[in-house]
């Protein structure tokens, strides 16, 4: 059975989607058959990997109108990378599922059909702690939490970890925090260095050794529907995500 990893933080702009796209791509480059699930109604992981935000997608799977096998697309760039797209329709799923039985397990149930077909399944979450995120956390074995190296970086993380622990008790006893990932790091700024030091002091071994530096290339790549490896393989961001993939495979 593949490892199912949810990439989550209720704050926006912390590098969740960038990490989802590039970590999935790096794992695929290492010849690990990988499935990336875009679980955010904004669909940025979908367009950032070069797919159209079209139906059928993960929304139809959640409401029972499609099988997850029907919505898996192979990446145009990597033979071992596959994607389940999202669209704005997904924003209605939280309302539509409210009265559904076992609404927290819709994604987990859908993944039963394909979890043995992949070595890694990555889920890119929306910036909230709503029903979609609860579904992702109920379906996964591991969690990666990106934290930006900026002011208020630690704000909300304690709440998120508390939520994860509650879900572990109530919905998913196998839930494990794989690691906290420092993102948007700028070594020229004292603030970035201070935040990184504080995060490592507070969370200790939970923090990945790899740090994702602030990078124009990383910001540009999704606009071209490419991972950093296909946009600029020589960039520092490319090296960082290769290193992160190694850590994930080792943990």
pLDDT over 80 at 189, yes or no: no
Exposure string (b/e) for 170-208, b if CB count within 10 Å is 16 or more? ebbeebebbbbbbbbbeeeeeebeebbeebeeebeeebb
Q: Are 176 and 165 in contact (CB under 8 A)?
A: no
Instruction: State the total domains in the chain.
Output: 1
Domain membership of residue 196 (yes or no) is: yes
Query: What pLDDT digit, counting tens, does each position of 103-112 carry?
Result: 999 999 999 9
Per-residue pLDDT band for 17 (boundaries 50, 70, 90) equals very high
Domain membership of residue 235 (yes or no) is: yes
> If DSSP codes are grouped into helix, strand and coil, which group holds residue 72?
coil
pLDDT over 90 at 191, yes or no: no
pTM: 0.94
Per-residue pLDDT band for 33 (boundaries 50, 70, 90) equals very high
- Give mean pLDDT, residues 183-208: 84
Domain membership of residue 251 (yes or no) is: no
Residue range(s) defining the domain that contains residue 13: 3-246
pLDDT of residue 39: 96
> If DSSP codes are grouped into helix, strand and coil, which group holds residue 167?
helix
pLDDT over 90 at 197, yes or no: no
Domain membership of residue 208 (yes or no) is: yes
Question: Could you tell me the CA-to-CA distances from 3 to 26, 167, 200, 229 in Å, in that order?
Answer: 15, 18, 25, 23
CATH of the domain at 64: 3.40.50.300
The C-alpha atoms of residue 249 and residue 93 are separated, in whole angstroms, by: 32
User: Is the preceding peptide bond at 141 cis, omega within 30 degrees of 0?
Assistant: no
DSSP alpha helix (H) spans, 140-227: 157-170, 190-203, 216-220
Domain membership of residue 48 (yes or no) is: yes
């Amino acid at each position: 059975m593949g490892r199912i990893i949810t990439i989550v933080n209720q704050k926006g702009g912390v590098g969740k989607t960038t990490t989802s796209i590039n970590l999935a791509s790096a794992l695929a480059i290492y010849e690990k058959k990988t499935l990336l699930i875009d679980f955010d109604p904004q669909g940025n992981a979908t367009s950032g990997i070069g797919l159209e935000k079209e139906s059928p997608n993960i929304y139809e799977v959640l409401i029972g109108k499609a099988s997850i096998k029907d919505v898996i697309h192979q990446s145009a760039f990597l033979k071992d990378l596959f994607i389940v797209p999202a669209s704005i329709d997904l924003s209605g799923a939280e309302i539509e599922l409210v009265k559904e039985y076992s609404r927290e397990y819709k994604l987990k149930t859908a993944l039963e059909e394909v979890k043995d077909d992949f070595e890694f399944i990555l889920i890119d979450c929306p910036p909230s702690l709503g029903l979609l995120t609860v579904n992702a956390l109920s379906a996964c074995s591991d969690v990666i939490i990106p934290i930006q190296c900026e002011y208020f970086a630690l704000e909300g993380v304690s709440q998120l970890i508390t939520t994860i622990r509650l879900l572990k008790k109530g919905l998913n006893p196998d839930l494990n925090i794989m690691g906290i990932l420092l993102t948007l790091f700028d070594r020229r700024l004292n603030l970035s260095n201070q935040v990184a030091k504080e995060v490592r002091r507070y969370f200790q071994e939970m923090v990945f050794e790899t740090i994702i530096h602030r990078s124009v290339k990383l910001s540009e790549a999704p606009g071209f529907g490419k991972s950093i490896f296909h946009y600029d393989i020589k960039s520092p961001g490319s090296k960082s995500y290769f290193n992160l993939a190694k850590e994930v495979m080792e943990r």
